[in-house]
């Protein structure tokens, strides 16, 4: 199994509070991704990183920010959580972004915003 | 834009039945195609992949063939087991990351 951990694994927070989710990898892969999983939508890309301090938006980036100060860590921040951000969040990594770029996923973080 | 469409579930089968889960894609160029499986409470695991037309990916008795002419990548297994109960996701490489289908839940009954 790829060495990917996510923390926390579960979190309940109140509307309007800031939340930071952490993804940590031990594979030294260049690319890291944050997805959210919602019923009927599969996984949707929030943000991704193609190197330290290099990040870009995905299809559902509103309300989220990310940071990557080290190769192994990719942080996802909800500046002011809303109920619509209740979801399961998955981090993924890949060695490349090319045509053959399979991704490896972490165990997920279940976030509930009340 | 890129998209992946899967058959809606849940799919309920008896043990040893034949499984097909349909997947079609729209994309510019020729993406690589993947099937991922998610067991309850876990993250996604890569099940199989195919990187070019007519490639067949296979793993653990599951197979899928990359059909460029029909833009499809249907997942099949000849004899399912109770332990195959999970959610299956079809995915295609996109411009920035993978594009996923909405997932198909498979329930196999003894």
Task: Concatenate the DSSP letters of all residues of A26-57 into one string.
Answer: SS--SEEEEEEEETTTEEEEEEEEEETTEEEE
Contact A40 B44 (CB under 8 A): no
A1: pLDDT confidence band, cut at 50, 70 and 90? low
Contact A97 B96 (CB under 8 A): yes
Q: Coil, helix or strand for A77?
A: strand
What's the average model confidence in pLDDT over B81-109? 92
What pLDDT score was predicted for residue A99? 58
pLDDT for A58 beyond 70: yes
Q: Which residue in B has a C-alpha nearest to residue A41's C-alpha? A: B102
Are B86 and B104 in contact, with CB atoms under 8 Å apart? Answer: no
More confidently predicted of B98 and B104: B104
Residue A101: which of B43, B44, B93 has the nearest Cβ?
A: B93
Contact A44 B100 (CB under 8 A): yes
Angle at Cα B100 formed by Cα B11 and Cα B6, nearest 5°?
A: 35
Radius of gyration of chain B from its Cα atoms, rounded to whole angstroms = 13
What's the average model confidence in pLDDT over A37-42? 87
- Digit-coded pLDDT (tens) for B20-75: 999 999 987 889 999 999 998 888 999 999 999 999 999 999 999 999 999 999 99
Q: Coil, helix or strand for A8?
A: coil
Are B105 and B11 in contact, with CB atoms under 8 Å apart? Answer: yes
Residue B96: which of A42, A48, A100 has the nearest Cβ?
A: A48
């Amino acid at each position: 199994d790829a060495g990917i951990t996510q923390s926390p694994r579960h979190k309940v927070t109140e509307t309007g509070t800031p939340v930071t989710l952490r993804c940590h990898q031990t594979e030294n892969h260049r690319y890291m991704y944050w997805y959210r999983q919602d019923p009927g939508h599969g996984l949707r890309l929030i943000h991704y990183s193609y190197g330290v301090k290099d990040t870009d938006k995905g299809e559902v980036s509103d309300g989220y920010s990310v940071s990557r100060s080290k190769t192994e860590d990719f942080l996802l921040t909800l500046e002011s959580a809303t109920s619509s951000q209740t979801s399961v969040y998955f981090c993924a990594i890949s060695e490349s972004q090319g045509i053959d770029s399979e991704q490896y996923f972490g165990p997920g973080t279940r976030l509930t915003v009340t | 834009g890129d998209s992946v469409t899967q058959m809606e579930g849940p799919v309920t089968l008896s043990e040893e039945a034949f499984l097909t889960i349909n997947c079609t894609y729209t994309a510019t160029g020729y993406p690589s195609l993947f099937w991922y499986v998610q067991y309850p409470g876990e993250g996604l695991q890569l099940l199989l992949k195919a990187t070019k037309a007519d490639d067949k990916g296979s793993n653990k008795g599951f197979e899928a063939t990359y059909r460029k002419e029909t833009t499809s990548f249907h997942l099949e297994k000849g004899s399912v087991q109770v332990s195959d109960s999970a959610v299956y996701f079809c995915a295609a490489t996109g411009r920035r990351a993978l594009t996923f289908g909405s997932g198909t839940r498979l329930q196999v009954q003894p």
